Structure 1
């Protein structure tokens, strides 16, 4: 029987010799749905195969498949996909006796072919990266015809630096994370500065399309004048991108100036994402990006100023938090929810923020919430998911997304649920290692689930929140919404539209 199955597998591979990559990927996905053995690794293989298909479509759209250097690895890939299909089919169709004899060996073979497919997942972005560099070079030449060869070499350098960042982040994910995506492989200050300067020069020349044209372009001298020469007295914060200063324009408008620190790896990609996404977003609960400054080594983003800073700073300060009564907290909660509904349904596309946390919620003078920091944002088709490199912040990142790399709008729902718990409990996730009888050192979500099971949700409420009787019932309803949002499986979480409906009853 084993010999017959082995012969059958060889025949299957031979019969598939004329099937192209797209056909093989479809067959792999279909076969993985009905496997009887090695189900988990077969389904993982199918997900990887779908990602390969997406990459191949990108290569075709850029006409790279016409080049022999691209076509050769695709032909090798097709051989790997044929092998993968044969292995998955054997897991689906093999007899019980065969599975007993060959089960362990088949699992090893599946892992080997998975490693081969992973190689192509790394290879094809490299091919696309080379083509993107050519495109940037052509665009830069058109924008600046007198651009020197030295500048073109610098352009190649910046793309190399950015690609290293992405690969470094992938390697980091395999070892766990604290603030995801913020600890890349170390590079010299000279390397970082060189890549940063050239990328921002390129952006300065290329901004002016439909997205960039909506932004005001400030000179560095205007920034210095608005912030008293970027004085320490105007420093209001410091994050992964760089320092944030309060400023005032000549017309009296208060602004927040986010200046990139060349020692930070969060630079060109985040800068570009912000200027491409925020100007197109118009909502009372989304921060307004007023303009940017790209000059010499400087890359600066200018936002509307939020006098009450971020939600995390309010929660961490007992004096300020005590002034935050339930009506104000509820308004903040509903504001965040409304902003996310807008993002998830904006322009018939779904914008996934990917880093919803208390420090990314700013508060204006009336304590209205505004979502900020779109450096990690992704755009998806509605009600779909994608497999991407995991990035975000520990504690707020959806655990299912962290485990699988599959992202959807439900990742933002999870982050919202954690923020909702923080607002009600008056404790930030990072400081919330609770010591209680039977629950030593539990983080906030686990603590909440424990109390839910024991019908003791009222013990989660901030002691400084002196709620009236009718408000207590609203708080309990909001806690139940939060617990739905932080379910460990994305499919069991509500959408943000459903969250807004539930909050509307409070």
Structure 2
């Protein structure tokens, strides 16, 4: 038993039983000085304190009542001092006990957290983001190494200008995509922070979910939800050459992109300009649901920078007014949407090399022919040729032409684009189009 325990046990006794401080009444005789052996003074045989009366010499002696008053004052002083001291000790003891309990509870919570993390998919810390009340997860580098099998080549999902994406498997069951960013890129750190900042607060079914990030020495990692069908660019221009993308799926993808942009432009406050919309930044899940990704260049409308050096990606997606005059609005995203729509419609890359090895943009090639209804059916991607209603084809081509107008005021709002696509997409894919089913034969 330590000193604190003794104080805790004894202190209440002292406070509530102060008589313990004085176990016996004070005998006046005990306060008398001891007998002196000095031969000069006569030996005292009488108590110092006598009854108060006048002796023959006229000196008045102290009475027993006076002595009792002094004893009471001393006793009261002792009790008050003991009470004050006890209160101080009790306060310190309570503080020490509370402190010990707090530390004990904290240790218990930490142990539970560590135990639960062993069976958890992510052994991570929560960290508040810089914008809004969102939060992101900080991953341990060792966890990413284990989940990607040390970033082996067979786990690569894709490579781009910003980095390499790896398939990650956490706890043997939860799949995610880990993007290792390339270093040395101008403003790479700013884009990395911007990506985390925006995706920590933007939560929408048509926007990619950021699961967390990791900083290891000079390398930066971003962890996203898994999108099993990769990017729209890889589906259209990769080995499959768009063979998995039917007309209805392509219209659904266009509708999903429009819904994502409509959320950024109309629902966010302030509105957000993606600024880097292109087919490689549109990701597809296992059911070909499209989601917007890569928010490293995204800005709040009205706060955007006019510095042209911040423009990145393929220039064919950049709106003319932003490229030339540095003017950036939500109509810049609408222009980029028009380029993606042309890729879906024609199956061509945004920029293709001609026979003379010169780069020709899809706008330069398609614009003169898009308004000619006689040529349009032969321009579409061979994979979807003759698989759609021609009225729908003409309507989609008309929307694309409006979106890529050089003058931004001629382009539609993304809300108008969204409403124009809803009737073109089957109900089961998120639109309002009801497909005519084949009439069953009549029983005879």
Length-normalised TM-score, structure 2: 0.62
Is 1:311 aligned to 2:232, yes or no? yes
Is 1:354 aligned to 2:275, yes or no? yes
1:451 to 364, 369, 376: 369
1:411 to 326, 332, 353: 332
Q: 1:460 aligns to what?
A: 379
Q: 1:99 aligns to what?
A: none
SS in 1 for 2:222: strand
| Alignment partners' CA distance in 2, 1:461 and 1:311 | 17
> Are the equivalent residues in 1 in contact too, given 2:127–2:135 (CA < 8 A)?
no
- Stretch moving more, 331-340 or 447-456: 447-456
Matches within 5 A, 1:99-114: none
> Are the equivalent residues in 1 in contact too, given 2:206–2:259 (CA < 8 A)?
yes
User: What whole-Å deviation, never above 9, does each CA across 1:270-319 have from its counterpart, x for those lacking one?
Assistant: 11101100121111111000011123333211000111111111111363
Is 1:344 aligned to 2:262, yes or no? no
| Alignment partners' CA distance in 1, 2:247 and 2:372 | 24
> Are the equivalent residues in 2 in contact too, given 1:257–1:300 (CA < 8 A)?
yes
Q: 1:500 aligns to what?
A: 418
C-alpha displacement at 1:464, in angstroms? 1.6
Q: How many residues align?
A: 296
> Are the equivalent residues in 2 in contact too, given 1:396–1:414 (CA < 8 A)?
yes
2:288 to 362, 367, 384: 367
User: What whole-Å deviation, never above 9, does each CA across 1:41-67 have from its counterpart, x for those lacking one?
Assistant: xxxxxxxxxxxxxxxxxxxxxxxxxxx
C-alpha displacement at 1:374, in angstroms? 0.6
| Alignment partners' CA distance in 2, 1:493 and 1:249 | 45
Unaligned runs of 5+ in 1: 1-203
C-alpha displacement at 1:467, in angstroms? 3.6
Q: 1:378 to 1:213 in 2, by over 3 A?
A: closer
Is 1:491 aligned to 2:412, yes or no? no
Is 1:394 aligned to 2:312, yes or no? no
- Stretch moving more, 278-287 or 210-219: 210-219
> Are the equivalent residues in 2 in contact too, given 1:401–1:407 (CA < 8 A)?
yes
Unaligned runs of 5+ in 2: 1-124, 425-444
Which one has the largest radius of gyration? 2
Higher helix share: 1
Q: 1:57 aligns to what?
A: none
Length-normalised TM-score, structure 1: 0.55
> Are the equivalent residues in 2 in contact too, given 1:288–1:304 (CA < 8 A)?
yes
Q: 1:449 to 1:297 in 2, by over 3 A?
A: closer
| Alignment partners' CA distance in 2, 1:420 and 1:208 | 34
User: What whole-Å deviation, never above 9, does each CA across 1:4-57 have from its counterpart, x for those lacking one?
Assistant: xxxxxxxxxxxxxxxxxxxxxxxxxxxxxxxxxxxxxxxxxxxxxxxxxxxxxx
Is 1:275 aligned to 2:193, yes or no? no
SS in 2 for 1:431: strand
User: What whole-Å deviation, never above 9, does each CA across 1:458-481 have from its counterpart, x for those lacking one?
Assistant: 232111214435x33212211110
Q: 1:433 to 1:477 in 2, by over 3 A?
A: farther
Q: 2:160 aligns to what?
A: 239
Q: 1:447 to 1:209 in 2, by over 3 A?
A: closer
Q: 2:393 aligns to what?
A: 475
> Are the equivalent residues in 1 in contact too, given 2:178–2:223 (CA < 8 A)?
yes
SS in 1 for 2:220: strand
Q: 1:488 to 1:434 in 2, by over 3 A?
A: farther
> Are the equivalent residues in 1 in contact too, given 2:126–2:136 (CA < 8 A)?
no
> Are the equivalent residues in 1 in contact too, given 2:177–2:224 (CA < 8 A)?
yes
C-alpha displacement at 1:347, in angstroms? 2.8
Q: 1:348 to 1:209 in 2, by over 3 A?
A: closer
Q: 1:257 to 1:474 in 2, by over 3 A?
A: same
Q: 1:297 to 1:446 in 2, by over 3 A?
A: closer
- Stretch moving more, 241-250 or 205-214: 205-214
| Alignment partners' CA distance in 2, 1:484 and 1:209 | 37
User: What whole-Å deviation, never above 9, does each CA across 1:425-464 have from its counterpart, x for those lacking one?
Assistant: 01111226489xxxx9853212222113544322321112
Q: 1:421 aligns to what?
A: 342
Q: 1:430 aligns to what?
A: 351
Q: CA RMSD in A?
A: 2.6
> Are the equivalent residues in 2 in contact too, given 1:207–1:213 (CA < 8 A)?
yes
Q: 1:238 to 1:317 in 2, by over 3 A?
A: closer
